[in-house]
Structures are given as C-alpha cells and as structure tokens.
Amino acid sequence: MKPHAGSLAEQCAALPDELRDKLFASLSAAECAALLHEWRFWARPAQLPPPGDWFYWLIVAGRGFGKTRAGVEWIRMQVEGASPLTGPPGAPARIGLVAQTANDARAVMVEGESGFLATARPGFRPVYEISRRRLVWPNGCQALLYSAEEPDQLRGPQHHLAWCDELAKWRRIEAAWQNLILGLRLGRQPRVLVTTTPRPIRLLKELMAEPGALVTQGSTRDNASHLSPHFLAEVERRYGGTRLGRQELEGEILEDIEGALWSWAMIEAARCPAVPELTRIVVAVDPPVSTGRRADTCGIVVAGRAPGGDVYVLADRSLQGASPAGWAARAIAAYREFSADRLVAEVNNGGDLVEAVIRQIAPDVSYRAVRASRGKIVRAEPVAALYEQGRVRHARPMPEMEEEMCSFTGGTSAESGSPDRLDALVWAVTDLVLAPASEPKLRPLAG
C-alpha cells in the first residue's frame, strides 16, 4: 500500500529552516495560537472528510492510523461550524456516538488522548455530563453516547450525525446498526462516519460496497511520525508478513482461506452478548518449548460449559516469550480469576516439568496433563464441528486466537507459525465436552 500524503504541518517541517522561520514570523501571535487547533493544518489528507454527496464515510485502517482523532475532529468541525451543519443554519445538532461498550465510548471518544476533552479548542470545550451520557458544547450542540451492546438505546432517539467507532468489534452489530440508521433522520443531509480496524464481517463489506459510501483505507505506518519508533519496530517484528499483520496493521479485509477448518462466518455466528451460569470452567495451556523473543507463544485459553452442554470461550490469556515461571503464573492467575475447576496442560514437550512448575506456584491447583497422540488437525476437527453446530460461543472478541482459527489448515506454516492459541482452545473444549464433571455446580461467571 502506498503511503498517504503528509499533513501541511509535516510539509512545513520539511522546509529549509530559513524559509520555515520566515513563514511563521509572518503570522501574528493569535494566528499561531489558532494554528495549534486547526485540524486542516495537522491532519493528513486521508484524515479529512471527503468532498461530495456522501452518506457513509468509512475509515478502514490499521491500528494507530489516527482514526479516533479523525472522528473527533470531523464532529468538532460540524459543531463549530467549520462545515455546514445538517440542520437549519444556527440550529444545534444532535449527534450519536456509538462504541462497542459504554466504557469504550467514554474512555476513547470522550476522555482518551485523542478524545473530545483533550483536543477541545480553548473557549469552546464541551461539558461532559456523565449521568446523562452526553457532551454539550457552548452553542447547544449535543453528542449522546451509546453502547452497541445495548442496541435498544438507539431505538427512538434521532440524530443529525453519527460516529461509530470500531464497528467491526461490535457484538450485536446488526441490531445496533439498524436502530442507529433508522434514527438518523434529522436535518437536510444526515451523515455517519465509521472508524474501524477491519475484520471480514458481512455488514462492513456491504457498507464499503454501498453507492453512497466513501472509503478511506490506510495502514499503521501512514501515521509513523506520531508513533513511537519502538512500537513500530516491535509490531513489524511480531506481525509483519502475517495475515494478522495485514489486517491489524495494513488495514486489509482478509477473506477465508481455502481448506481452513474455521471461517469468519463461523466466528461471527459464535459471538454472544452474555454468558449464562456455567457448570465447569477450565484453563487450558499449550506450553512452549523455549523462551525468549523468538519462542512460540504459550497458549492459555479459558472456557466454560453451560448446563445444556454449550461451551463458552471466556478469554485468551496467551503470552509470548515468557519463562516457564512466567507463563505458569499467567495461567494460574486466570485459574483464580475465573474460579476454574481445572487447569489442563499439554505435556508432550515438557513432561512432568510442566506440572512441577505449576505446583511450585500453586500446589492446590486441580491439574490434568494431556498428551497429543494424534495430529493437530485430527484433534481440531471435532471442535470445529461443534462450532458448526452452534455449540461453542465466544464471550468477547479474541482477534489473535480467531485469526489462528481461520488460518488453520492442518499444521504449522512459515507465515502463521505454530497455532498455540488454537491448540489451547482445542484442549479446553475437548476437556469440557468429553470429560464433564460428574456433579455440576452452578456458579456466576467470575472475572
């Protein structure tokens, strides 16, 4: 992907010192102060709203691209009148701000480093009314915060504009999106901005193909001048050249791999808004052979079984590069957090050492060793079948594990590496389905 053009600020920084100094010396103190909050000066062209008669603007880009700041500044331009409001001249706008959860809306869109409060222009700072979940600007414009996990919140309210953040992560995406769009009916030209890291979900692909949609795509490195070089080097080392890197860094929507046991449609169908009471919870561990930066990931997956027999995958706590004591501590912490009944660990590569490391930290842990006597694909196929039957659910998005699932065709490849998270998932589901507790006990979900 070709890098996007730089901002006016970056172009000024590249000027010869003498010319740059002369340029800024020609500005008054007030003009220099105003320039600090002039988004058109600091933004890359890809972060500015496109011209034309559009209804959807989708920024589908890698992490760190600057999507949140683009969303905040687009709303701010509407509120401050830098762009025409969609209602009658001078009328206050009503804006819908929708995130995956209520906490995401507050922590990212309102109070985050690139949020409305941190980037507000002096003298025009909005008031955040926490109890009413809304922002109110001095001119009367209002932005109301919504959680996509509660789509009925959007049934009834009307808006001129909307901004949807991380749409591809929403669990109840269809209901939330439908209710939002049906309420986007105020003013002469309502519009909606979607900012998201891509995932191959049906709604996102449909929106990108809409005639009234304009799509901006970009990668993490497009915003390199505002990101830590250490961060960029690390994510490139870890994810460069992988499918997950193409999605999370390059902003590509990846389609299913031919021959993979799981498809993205199966993953999306497995998402659930709530977890029932569970009869058993296990933590499954796929220990690595070595440690250090180049070592395999230690797969650590938490899953539980409901009274009806369905399995709920609760968390992916995998980590890479840790010592045996480090990954054992991580697994035991998950065991405690979720009040698990058993810790299951594969011992093909570690034998008795795996149990010894775990017992040194937590002698009281209920432990079961499992040994792989069949190939990965043979072990994984029955678990994939349970997904096809709708008997396995995901309590939350787990992108790295889900990427391994949808990339797995039967072994280890140079691109995908060892599917350690998937291995742990397979051990967890297998233990829950094939060896359930004889006397189940109901308990609320911990953690």
State the architecture of 264-434 in CATH terms.
Answer: 2-Layer Sandwich (3.30)
- Would you state the pLDDT for residue 58? 97
- Would you state the pLDDT for residue 129? 96
Separation between Cα atoms, residue 38 and residue 308, nearest integer Å: 58
Section 84-90 average pLDDT: 53
Q: What percent of the chain has pLDDT over 90?
A: 56
Q: Which of 37, 130, 117 is nearest to 77 (CA)?
A: 37
Q: What percent of the chain has pLDDT over 70?
A: 90
Q: What stretch of H or E contains 312?
A: strand 311-316
pLDDT band at 89 (very low <50, low <70, confident <90, very high): low
Q: Which of 240-244, 276-280, 331-335 has the lowest mean pLDDT?
A: 240-244
Asked if 105 and 148 count as a contact pair (C-beta separation under 8 A), the reply is no
- Would you state the pLDDT for residue 414? 39
pLDDT band at 411 (very low <50, low <70, confident <90, very high): low
Q: What stretch of H or E contains 430?
A: helix 420-434
Torsion, CA 318, CA 323, CA 324, CA 325, rounded to 10: -100
- Each residue of 63-75: pLDDT tens digit? 999 999 999 999 9
- Would you state the pLDDT for residue 180? 97
pLDDT band at 82 (very low <50, low <70, confident <90, very high): very low
pLDDT band at 123 (very low <50, low <70, confident <90, very high): confident
Separation between Cα atoms, residue 214 and residue 193, nearest integer Å: 10
Check whether 340 has a pLDDT greater than 80: yes
3-state secondary structure of 283: strand
- Would you state the pLDDT for residue 4? 45
pLDDT band at 438 (very low <50, low <70, confident <90, very high): very low
Section 393-411 average pLDDT: 87
- Would you state the pLDDT for residue 91? 65
Separation between Cα atoms, residue 263 and residue 294, nearest integer Å: 28
Q: Give the Cβ contact number of residue 289 at 10 Å.
A: 10
* CATH 3.40.50.300 applies to domain 8-246: yes
Asked if 286 and 420 count as a contact pair (C-beta separation under 8 A), the reply is yes
Q: Which of 315, 335, 323, 261 is nearest to 298 (CA)?
A: 323
Check whether 290 has a pLDDT greater than 80: no
Q: Which residue has the higher pLDDT, 166 or 187?
A: 166
Sheet with 94-99, side-by-side order of all strands: 127-129, 134-136, 142-147, 94-99, 161-165, 191-196, 56-61, 213-218
CA distances (Å), origin 308, targets 395, 428, 432, 442: 17, 17, 12, 12
Domain ranges within the chain, ordered by starting residue: 8-246, 264-434
Q: Give the Cβ contact number of residue 237 at 10 Å.
A: 10
What's the one-letter identity of residue 306? A
- Would you state the pLDDT for residue 87? 54
How far apart are the two ends of the chain, measured CA to CA in Å? Answer: 40
Residues 6 or more apart whose CB falls under 8 angstroms from that of 312 comprise 272, 275, 276, 278, 303, 304, 305, 306, 392, 393, 394, 395
